[in-house]
Amino acid sequence: MKLIFASQNKNKVLEVKSLMPPSIELLSLSDIHFNEDIEETESTIEGNALLKARTIYTKTQMNCFADDSGLLIDALDGSPGVYSARYAGEPKNDEANLQKVLHQLSGIENRKAHFKTVMALIINGKEFLCEGIINGTIISAKKGANGFGYDPIFVPNGCSKTFAELDLKEKSTISHRALALQKMISILNNLE
């Protein structure tokens, strides 16, 4: 079965491709010559994942999925959440986002947070939402040089290192994205 991944991010497409069952032929947006930007206008992570998947399904009538992720911090009522990529404003800047979070949490004792990914899958018009969550804490200063986004300030529960101190393989076995992907793959494996 052909399945479109509604993402312009080449690294994500490669990572997901390597984990797909052999019965799935994964196509990227560039494989189908779709170069438009899909604006993420919804106010939730679920909403944006569905919006992107529905846009591609409506245009192509092909089976597809899209993902959306964010960091949700308890003491900030779930912020930055759906606005994680541009928390400190335009243009998108990982360092400024992370510094904004550290500033907002300075002096605050409750450092609990979680990363969440939602993958919205559409198969023959039927929609499925697959969620992956990893709980952890926000430390008070950056540690580690790997990864991206908020990785240097997030320590997953049960781990002594930040996401940015783990190598890609270690992170991608426990990450929110990996968990959502596992759920989606099990749906794909059980399709009739």
Q: Which long-range contacts link 41-44 to residues 24+ away (Cβ below 8 Å)?
A: 42/82, 43/82, 44/82
Residue 97, by phi and psi: left (phi above 0), alpha (psi -120 to 50) or beta? alpha
| Known catalytic residue at 67 | no
Q: Is 162 in the site for ligand IMP (CB under 6 A)?
A: no
Q: Which is nearer to ligand IMP, 16 or 61 (CB)?
A: 16
Structure-token pair, residue 185: 């793959």
For 6, the enclosing helix (H) or strand (E) is none
Cα separation, 147 vs 161, whole angstroms: 13
Q: Is 28 in the site for ligand IMP (CB under 6 A)?
A: no
- Within 13 A of 75's CA, how many CA atoms are on the CB side? 15
Site string for ligand IMP, 73-112 (x = CB under 6 A): -----------xx-----------x---------------
Binds ligand IMP by CB under 6 A, chosen from 27, 50, 163, 188: 163
Q: Which is nearer to ligand IMP, 1 or 96 (CB)?
A: 96
Q: How far is the CB of 188 from ligand IMP (least distance, A)?
A: 20
Q: Is 69 in the site for ligand IMP (CB under 6 A)?
A: yes
Q: Is 175 in the site for ligand IMP (CB under 6 A)?
A: yes
Task: Give the CB-nearest residue to ligand IMP.
Answer: 149
How many Cβ atoms sit within 10 Å of the Cβ of residue 26?
18
Q: Is 149 in the site for ligand IMP (CB under 6 A)?
A: yes
How many Cβ atoms sit within 10 Å of the Cβ of residue 60?
16
Q: Which amino acid is at 62?
A: M
Q: What is the number of residues in the chain? A: 192
**Annotated active-site residue in 31, 37, 67, 68:** 68
Q: Is 159 in the site for ligand IMP (CB under 6 A)?
A: no
Report the interface residues with ligand IMP, using CB under 6 A: 68-71, 84-85, 97, 115, 147-151, 163, 175
